Every structure is written in structure tokens, then in C-alpha cells.
Chains A and B, each alone.
Chain A
Amino acid sequence: MNETQHLSSQFDEELNRLRTHVLQMGGLVETQISLAIEAYSTAEISSIKSIIDADRKVNDLEKAIDDDCAHIIAKRQPTASDLRLVLGISKIVTDLERAGDEAKKIAKGVRRIYESGQMPMQYGVGVRHLAEAALALIRQSLDAFVRLDVELARNVIQADSEVDTEFKSIIRQLITHMMEDPRTITTSIEIISIARAIERIGDHAKNLSEQVVFVAEGRDIRHSKESAA
């Protein structure tokens, strides 16, 4: 009796540590995204190096967490909600890592724009708004994961479609710009790739939230009506 209790509490501690590592990784990715937005809107490109450096840490954490997941499954053979948590986490870290990659892409795009002496502000105010919306989605989906808050996760899944709509309207706007003034094409293409990366971040937030619903309720809502909303 005492033995099993001891073991299970040690197991709980392992799971808690795993969760904390995931959220630590989440924190890094959140910061990467928010620094990238700041670099975009303030032309402060000194932080870009730290965004790229953070990506290495994110990658290391992804590997370490994946290892831990495999280890826990092999050693503890978790069942029911514990198993869902571990499976969910191994998917969540993939999405987080990719969101971090997108942040890196944004940072590099911003650097290219400013190094070529252009100012994106005049075309892409909407981009900052889009980026803030996507960052909010990542933040909310991580919060939903911490609290296993299914309602919040569902909100994120729905809000992602708003990000998609906004992305499309930015593209339309930029296309108009390019047609009006072909000199803006180079910068516009950079901005489009930045906006695309932001839109992808929104998608990763959505995937993350779907995993939260899976962890909390055991239902896989990927590619279902619920997730199409």
C-alpha cells in the first residue's frame, strides 16, 4: 500500500515536471513571437539574434520532453487521463516547436526588410494586429493547457478562423499595393511571408487547443466539425 502510494506520487511528480517543461518551452516560444512582433513594429533589430538563439533552446527542450514522454510511457505504462496527457504533450511540443520556427522566420524577414532600408510600417499595420492576435491565441491555448480549460481551448479554435480571415485581407491589401506601385513588390513579398508565418502560428495554436480538448475529455476533435468552426 505504502509502496504503491509512494510510486504514484513520484509518478505524479514526474508528470508535473513534464508539464512544467512544456510550459517553459511555451514561455520561450511566446517570448520569441512577442520579440519578433516588437522587432517588426519598432525596427529594433538587435533582439533578432536572441530570437534565433532561443530557437536552439526550444529545439533542445522539444527533444528532452519527447524523451521524457517515451520514458514515462515505457516505465510507468500510464493509463486513461495520464496516458492522454503524455500523448497530448508529445503532440503539443511539436506544434510549439513549429510556432517557434515561424517566429524565427518572422524575425529573419524583419531583418531583411530593415537591412534593405525599407520601412514596412506604411503597408503593414495590419500585420502587427494579426501577430498580436496570433500571440494571444498561443498564450490562451497554453493557459487552457495549464488549467485544462476546455472552454478556453474551444474559443481559441474558433478565433483561429478570424486570424485566417484577417490574413486574407492583408494579402488582398498588399496585392493592391503591389499593383499600384511595383517598387513595393520586394518588401510586400517579405511582408506576405511574415504574415503567412503569423497565420501558421495561429494554426499551431489551434492544434494545441485541440490537443487540450483531447487531454481533458479524451475526444479527438481534429478534422471534425467542431474544429472546422
Chain B
Amino acid sequence: MAAQKVRALLLTVLSASIALPIGYFVAPSTGWAVFSVSLGLQLAFQFRQFAHLDRWSRSPAVDVNLEGEGEWDGVFGRLYRHEKDLRAEIARRDEEISHLLAAGQALTDGVVLLDRLSQIQFCNSMAESQLGLVVRTDRGQHIANLVRQPEFVAYLDLADFSRPLTLRSERRDGRVYSIHVIPYGNDRRLMQIKDITHTDRLDRMRRDFVANVSHELRTPLTVLAGFVETMQEIELDAEEQVRYLAMMGEQSKRMLSIVQDLLTLSSIESAPPPANDVVDMANMIDKLRRDAEALSAGRHVIELESDGLGDLRGSESDLASAFGNLVSNAIRYTPAGGTIRLIWRASVQGAEFAVQDTGIGIDSIHLPRLTERFYRVDRGRSRDAGGTGLGLAIVKHALNRHQAILDVRSTVGAGSRFAARFPANRVLGL
């Protein structure tokens, strides 16, 4: 600072010392003129530098080095460095923040950050799809404006976040979320959204299973016990005895088939990976068709759609029981006069065995639960049709063991199509 003051003073003294002799020897007015011109030049120089700085400060750029002249150089240099450092720092922090945000995006759980007023500050794309948010337009919106379910609003209002809230999604059909709100910072909140659809379903299936097994076995047992009691207490004539015994036989057969299916299921579940035998599909399909015709007893038209190519690698008995179940279901749920079509398509991309019927069809709300044990679309009907409620569970497990998936399409009143899709490495002989 001092150096600049001295310099400015020296320049003034210099101009004065030039102007003074001129004023003395030539004319005082000329002296004044020289003095003011030299001061003016100084002022012009300063103003030029000021204008330069002014221009720069309006839009500070760091791509061109900011240089000043004279005493301004130091000032410009420091300002320029300061600006440059600041920018580097901002860029570094931006990068850090973007890393953090990317980490937030990478989470497999949904995350929403809320401010003091429960307004959305940030949410990752998982949360966007889970809750139907659009971060671009919804930042600053109150979260309850968009997640409007009363349970959620109550949870947020109550502000007791010691346990998570289980919420059935309204926007994404059938998904179940566990929402945990975690307070942090000063009055901010982090909302973590976990998709627990799968575990929720498993829980329910386990609960239902025990209840269902007991129920399914109790019904025939009650009937059986009733007949036994009747026969013990009442003298029956021979004809009636035969009739009662026939009914008792029917009920015990029913229980037997339930137990049989349960055993099949548990053996499929616990057995080692299936054998890698070659399953002759032409033969298998032929057998399935014969079984179908026997079961249908001429009430349905059975069609075959197969070029007879391609075989599967796997356990013949597992596959036979899976395919057999699909075929017998189709016959059971198709009214007389309907058509059942067995389809086998094999290609190098994979193979598909499908059973298509023109039966009663299944409402789409049942489709996700169809392979659960004892799940029944229509309780009365399926038991009348003689099902144990385990068929599709067996199919699903048998197929899973062959890395195949079960694809079900159905329209109520128009019919269903159950397809087992096998991956390419299970298909051979093409």
C-alpha cells in the first residue's frame, strides 16, 4: 500500500517539478497547463485500469489472464488468483456433490430427503419410480401432496419414526413398501423406501400355508368321521352301506392325493438338481395327448401344434408331472366343447411348451398368486373340479429347477395360456 502511495506522490511531485520551471521561465498559464495535462494523463491511466477491472468484474472470466499495468498489476493478479481458486474449489465441491448424488442414485432403496417443512429436496430415481415422483418438477413440493395415502400422511404427522411404515402402493399395482423416516441434521428428514413385496408375500404364504393344509385335510376328515359315526350308531341296509363306503373312499382318496402332492412338492423342493437325461419330447407330447384324451373323455377337442423337433435336458419325471398338471388343469377348467391345444416350439434361442385352452379364464388379479400353495381363484369351483390346490405350485417348482419360467396369460371368459419357457442350454437335438 505504502509503495503505491509513494509512487502516486512521486508522480505528482515529478509533474509539479516539470511544470514549475516551465511556469517560471515561460508563462504561469503554460506551467499550469503542463501540470494539469500531466495530472490528466495520470487520471486517464488510472481510469483505463479501473474500466478494465470494471469490465472484468461484471463477468469474471479466468480463461484469459487478467493483467493490469503499473500498481494495478498486483491488485488484478490477486483478484484473478482469488477468482481462479474459488472456481477450482467450487468445481471440486460440485464433483463431490455429484459423487454423493450418484451414490444416492445407485442405492437400490428409494431415498427422499425432506426439509423442515417436509418438502422434497432430493430423491433418487428408485424413489421416483416407487412413489411416482418427478424430481425435476417436484422439488419443493410437500411430500404428502404426492404421496397422499392417509396412512402415510398420518405417519408423517405423528412424527413417531421409531418403526417403519408398511405401505401398499397405489401407483404401482400390488407393490408393498416399508418406509422408514430418519431425522438428521437440523430438522431434516431422510426417507428410506424398501420394496418388501417379496418378503411380504412369503410371510403371507407361510401363514396361509399352515392354515390351508389344515383346512384342506380337515374337510375330508370331517366327512369321513361323520360317516364312521353314522355307521357305528345306525344299522344300515346293504345298499346304503355300499353308498356310504363309496363316499368314504372318495374322501380318503382326496386326502391321499393332497398328501401325495405335498410329498411331491417337498421332494421337488429338497431334491438335488434334476438329472440331465435327455427327455424325448415327441414321445412326451404324444403321451400327454393320450392322457388328455383319456381325461377329457371326448368332451373337448385336443389339438397338437408341434414340428416334433427338439428335446429337453432334465428330469423326465419332474417335467412329466409339470406338463401333466398344466394339461389336466386345462381340461378341468374348460367347459365341454372347448378346445385344448398343446404347443411345443423349440429353437436355438430356447423352447416353449404351452397349453392353451378356451376355458373360463382367470382374472388378472389372481395371476401373481396362482402358484401359491392352496391358492384358489374360486373356492367352490376348484374343489368340485377335483384339484388339490397344489398343482401349479408343483409346476412352478419343477420348472424352476430347470431354469424355466411359467408364463400365464388369461382373459376371463376367453381362455388361458400356460407356457413353460426353457432356456437355450436345456434344448438339444435340433
Contacts and interface: CB of A to CB of B under 8 A. Distances in A.
Interface of A: 16, 19-20, 23-24, 26-28, 30-31, 34, 41-42, 54, 121, 125, 128, 139, 142-143, 146-147, 149
B61 interface: no
B376 interface: no
B138 A30 contact: no
Interface in B118-141: 132, 134, 137-138, 141
Given A41-B363, A125-B412, A20 B144 contact: yes
Given A26-B148, A27-B149, A139-B171, A16 B142 contact: yes
Contacts, number: 52
B386 to A, nearest CB: 21
A19 B145 contact: yes
B363 A30 contact: no
A139 B144 CA distance: 13
A162 to B, nearest CB: 19
Contacts of A16: 142
Contacts of A139: 170-171
Interface of B: 132, 134, 137-138, 141-142, 144-146, 148-150, 152-153, 170-171, 363, 365, 412-413
A136 to B, nearest CB: 9
Contacts of A31: 149-150, 170
B138 A147 contact: yes
B144 A23 contact: yes
A41 B170 CA distance: 16
Nearest to B151: A31
Q: Which of B137, B144, B150, B152 has the most CB of A within 10 A?
A: B150
A181 to B, nearest CB: 16
B51 to A, nearest CB: 34
A27 B412 contact: no
B137 A27 contact: no
Given A41-B363, A125-B363, A147-B138, A30 B146 contact: no
A143 to B, nearest CB: 7
Given A24-B153, A41-B365, A121-B363, A143 B146 contact: yes
Contacts of A20: 142, 144-145
Given A27-B153, A125-B363, A125-B412, A146 B170 contact: no
B363 A23 contact: no
Nearest to A119: B378
Contacts of B153: 24, 27
Contacts of B149: 27, 30-31
A23 B153 CA distance: 10
Contacts of B144: 20, 23-24, 27
Nearest to B119: A16
Task: Tell me which of B137, B142, B145 has the highest count of chain A C-beta atoms within 10 A of its own C-beta.
Answer: B145
Contacts of A26: 148
A146 B146 contact: yes
A125 B414 CA distance: 12
Contacts of B413: 125
Nearest to A26: B148
A22 to B, nearest CB: 9
Nearest to A34: B170
A107 B150 CA distance: 18
Max chain B C-beta neighbours (<10 A), residue from A24, A42, A139, A142: A24
Nearest to A129: B364
Contacts of A143: 132, 146
Given A19-B145, A146-B141, A27 B363 contact: no
A146 B140 CA distance: 11
A16 B119 CA distance: 11
B265 to A, nearest CB: 26
A142 B142 contact: no
22 contacts: A19-B142, A19-B145, A20-B144, A23-B144, A23-B148, A24-B144, A24-B153, A26-B148, A27-B153, A28-B150, A31-B149, A42-B365, A54-B150, A121-B363, A125-B363, A128-B365, A139-B170, A142-B148, A146-B141, A146-B145, A147-B134, A147-B141
